[in-house]
Every structure is written in C-alpha cells, then in structure tokens.
C-alpha cells in the first residue's frame, strides 16, 4: 500500500546533511541485504547528492550486493559531464566494488523515446525498489517530472519532451514507479527552494507530491529558512 508518512529532518550545514544522508543510505543497504540479499537503490541527479556520492566512495564497505538504478536522465552523449550516470560513475561507482552488471543506466544517448522503451524492459514492475533518492527543484520538479506537464503513470518510464530546464529532452521514471519503493529519501538544500518546499509540505500541486512510498518518506533539508 502506498502512503505518505513523511519524516522531516533539518540540518545546520550542508556537511551535516551529507553525512546524515550517507549514514541513512548505508543503514538501509545493510538492512535490505540482510533481509533479501541485495539492495536496490535509485539515484537522483542534480547537484545536491554529489557530496553524498563522494562520501559513499570513501566508505570501506562491500558494495557487491548493491544494484543501482537512475530516476531520470538527460539526453546527452554517454560521457557528457551533465549526465546523471556520468556524475555518479565518475565520483563514486567507478571507485568501489559494485559489479558493472549491477549498474543499470538509462540509455538516454539513444533519444528519449527509445531510451524509455529500453529502460522499461530493464525494470521489473513486480519488484519494489528498496530506496529511491530524489531532489526537488525550485519549481517543485523531481526527477525529470516538471509542473504543468502530463505523463502516462501506467508506464514505468517515460520520454520527457520540452522540459523547461536544459536539456529539453529527457527520460524519467514515473511517479507510480518511483513510489514503488520501500522508502524514499528527498534531499533538499538552498533558500531558492523554500517556496517549493512549503508547497510540498502543504500538499500542493507539485510533481514531488505525486511520489509516495510503500513504507515511509524521509525529507532531509538544509538552508531553507
């Protein structure tokens, strides 16, 4: 059953948020591996999680049972520095012992339509993720789901066209697929996101509010006051 039990955490510095988020992810991973033998994690793009990925790269833990997915991707060439997969690979995934077969990137270089179809085949609609990490833009968008856009929530993955932020062509998991996760973790930092955050808390009409979880949502914030 999907629900929106939301727990809020506010931190006094970006560093504190990064450390707490890293510990949260590692604890969830250990529990998931203990219970099911693996840990399925969906990564967010944007700048907010970058420091968390850097901290994870320094952790002396076994990543062999981690399975990495992406919540969205920008339609850039494979090694473009603004691709979510490139950022995660370069600062974290390439530095730890996650098997390459456990990293499932969105093939956005093929174009948004083809990439959405391909990634849909990668995801098993019957299997929930263990943890989805998401950010929130100053407009309330999350993944590549933007305000005032419509999407087919019966699909797991959709092509995004005419996104208001560059690049306009993207690929995104749908709210229903993002919500098919035991837990969701939002990382939100920056005064420019205060208005969107307040709308989120009041259950406003934002894409971020279309995401729920099977268990709970945790929201970690810094610099929103």
> Which two tokens mark 47?
């700048």
pTM of the complete model beyond 0.85? yes
DSSP three-state, residue 225: coil
> Which two tokens mark 15?
């560093």
CA 66 vs CA 94, 131, 132, 179, 221: distances in Å:
13, 11, 13, 19, 25
Which residue from 159, 153, 157, 161 is spatially nearest to 212, judged by alpha carbons?
153
Contacts of 193 (CB under 8 A, 6+ apart): 136, 137, 138, 224
Count of H-run helices and E-run strands, the chain: 6, 9
Q: Please write the tens of the pLDDT for every residue from 19-74.
A: 999 999 999 999 999 999 999 999 999 888 999 999 999 999 999 999 999 999 99
Q: Please write the tens of the pLDDT for every residue from 203-221.
A: 999 999 999 999 999 999 9
Asked if residues 71 and 187 have their Cβ atoms less than 8 Å apart, the reply is no
Q: How many residues are listed for the chain in this entry?
A: 225
């Amino acid at each position: 059953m999907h629900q929106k039990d939301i727990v809020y955490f506010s931190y006094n510095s970006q560093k504190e948020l990064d450390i707490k988020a890293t510990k949260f992810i590692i604890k969830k991973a250990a529990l998931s591996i203990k219970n099911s033998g693996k840990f399925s994690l969906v990564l967010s793009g944007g700048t907010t999680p970058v420091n968390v990925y850097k901290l994870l790269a320094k952790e002396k833990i076994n990543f062999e049972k981690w399975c990495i997915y992406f919540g969205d991707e920008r339609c850039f060439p494979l090694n473009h520095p603004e691709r979510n997969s490139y950022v995660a690979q370069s600062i974290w995934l390439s530095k730890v012992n996650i098997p390459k077969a456990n990293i499932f990137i969105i093939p956005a270089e093929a174009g948004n339509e083809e990439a959405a179809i391909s990634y849909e085949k990668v995801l098993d609609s019957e299997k929930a993720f263990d943890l989805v990490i998401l950010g929130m833009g100053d407009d309330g968008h999350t993944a590549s789901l933007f305000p005032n856009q419509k999407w087919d929530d019966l699909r797991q993955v959709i092509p995004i066209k005419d996104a208001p932020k560059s690049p306009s062509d993207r690929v995104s998991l749908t709210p229903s697929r993002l919500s098919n996760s035991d837990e969701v973790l939002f990382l939100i930092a920056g005064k420019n996101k205060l208005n969107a955050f307040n709308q989120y808390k009041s259950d406003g009409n934002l894409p971020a509010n279309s995401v729920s979880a099977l268990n709970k949502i945790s929201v970690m914030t810094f610099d929103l006051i």
